[in-house]
Amino acid sequence: MTAPHHEALVADLHNDLILLVDHFDRRGRPDYFGEFWLPELRAGGVNVQVLPVFIDEQFQSEGALRRTLLLIERIHRLAGQYPELTVCRTGADITRTTADGGIALVIALEGAHALGQDPDLIRTMERVGVRVVSLAHMGRTLLADGSGVDDSACGGLTPQGLEVLKEMERLGIVYDLSHLGVAGVEDVLENARRPLLATHSACRAVTDIHRNLTDAQLKGVAELGGVIGVAAAIPPFIDPGRPTAARVVDHIEHLASVTSIDAIGLGPDFIDDYYQEVYGGWLIPGMDATWNDSEIRRPSDLPLISEEMAARGFTDTDIRKVLGGNAMRVLDEVMGMPPKTTATQGKAES
């Protein structure tokens, strides 16, 4: 069986490339995206790219809002710089862009530090094109606790965090569970009424690390109609000793066994090049970077996942779902769309 990788729609739910674009902008290389990332995306068959805005520690708190808006502006300028790129606000925008052979960009916030404790700012973010948001990273924000503080705190969503969740669903912004601590995940699964994403996570039953989701959490995402993007490029999430395409597919197989093939996507988290360029190596808070290099290091490596799935007997239809079909279902239903008023809004109403 031949994996249908380059004939399929491929949606990458998490690539931190805008950080490297900004890094090289400041070093007089404004064409870095075209020189490096555009060929990589094409080689990996990526049609839909979710671009998270991550705020490094030195910009958090006082500088978070300014830094966030500057990076969002850079994404918009990137689309103006390269005609094959389009910032998309709805699923229909994505469909038009990909049908014309372009790459659809979806702006996301990773950690939402820019919101501080002001839920009103989620409306500002919606106006500038943000369509996917997570409320915490490894640590604590004024909206939620990240999984990195589970050992010392067990806070879920704050009252402001719950207000942001409700407003995101009203506005058509997709909620991202990745990085939330245990109590926060429980809060979201209890209160959410619309399909959501875990843009870059994996299975704790396969690799036991705080950033991965338990079987119960995976089932909760699936019951809401959501999708888990497998963080294929992060060695400690996949397997520190063997971060291979085969181990990525082990996570996909486990996901399919505890949820269904319809709940699986790809969110590789391509950040290795940024860490190597800026810090000289991996830098993940609270983790000792002693793992082996990932076989899925860049977008051009993504076809290895399709090949491994095909070798294990996944059908072309199921491979296409994992590559992008499932993610597009969530983006089509939620992104920029008002909520439905039917009983299909989530398990909490059934």
**In this structure, what CATH number is given to the domain that contains residue 13?**
3.20.20.140
Question: What was the pLDDT predicted at 248?
Answer: 98
pLDDT in tens, 254-283: 999 999 999 999 999 999 998 889 888 777
- Statement: residue 24 has pLDDT above 90: yes
pLDDT in tens, 277-310: 988 877 766 666 677 889 999 999 999 999 999 9
| Better pLDDT: 13 or 342 | 13
The two three-digit tokens of residue 314, written as one number: 């996944």
Residue 146 lies in a domain: yes
Question: What was the pLDDT predicted at 112?
Answer: 87
Determine contact, residues 21/77, Cβ cutoff 8 Å. no
User: 146-155, 162-171, 223-232, 318-327: which has the minimum mean pLDDT?
Assistant: 146-155
pLDDT tier for residue 61 given thresholds of 50, 70 and 90: low
For residues 201-211, give the mean pLDDT. Answer: 93
pLDDT tier for residue 348 given thresholds of 50, 70 and 90: very low
Question: What was the pLDDT predicted at 316?
Answer: 96
How crowded is residue 290: how many other Cβ atoms within 10 Å of its Cβ? 10
Residue 53 belongs to what domain range?
A: 9-338
Beta bridge partners of residue 12, listed in sequence order: 49, 266
pLDDT in tens, 101-132: 999 999 999 988 889 889 999 999 999 999 99
DSSP label of 325: I
Determine contact, residues 277/328, Cβ cutoff 8 Å. no
| Better pLDDT: 145 or 176 | 176
- At 340 the three-state DSSP class reads coil
d(CA 252, CA 320): 13
Q: How many residues make up the chain in this entry?
A: 350
d(CA 86, CA 339): 25
Nearest alpha-carbon partner for 224 in 204, 247, 194:
194
For residues 312-330, give the mean pLDDT. Answer: 97
Residue 199 lies in a domain: yes
- Statement: residue 90 has pLDDT above 60: yes
Give the residue ranges of DSSP H helices in 44-129.
64-81, 91-99, 121-127
For residues 225-246, give the mean pLDDT. Answer: 95
Residue 241 lies in a domain: yes
d(CA 20, CA 37): 10
Question: What was the pLDDT predicted at 346?
Answer: 46
For residues 37-47, give the mean pLDDT. Answer: 97
Residue 344 lies in a domain: no
Residue 348 lies in a domain: no
Angle between helices 159-171 and 182-191 (to 10 degrees): 50
Question: What was the pLDDT predicted at 343?
Answer: 42
Question: What was the pLDDT predicted at 349?
Answer: 42
How crowded is residue 26: how many other Cβ atoms within 10 Å of its Cβ? 8
Number of folded domains in the chain? 1
Strand extents, DSSP E, 83-154: 85-87, 103-110, 130-134
The two three-digit tokens of residue 192, written as one number: 């959410």
- At 145 the three-state DSSP class reads strand
Average pLDDT value for the chain:
90
d(CA 142, CA 310): 44
Residue 191 lies in a domain: yes
Residue 170 lies in a domain: yes
Question: What was the pLDDT predicted at 347?
Answer: 47
| Better pLDDT: 124 or 211 | 124
d(CA 217, CA 291): 26
Question: What was the pLDDT predicted at 344?
Answer: 41
Question: What was the pLDDT predicted at 58?
Answer: 61
User: 40-49, 109-118, 228-237, 337-346: which has the minimum mean pLDDT?
Assistant: 337-346
pLDDT tier for residue 3 given thresholds of 50, 70 and 90: low
Provide the residue type at 186 as one letter.
Answer: E
Percentage of the chain beyond pLDDT 70 is 89
Residue 346 lies in a domain: no
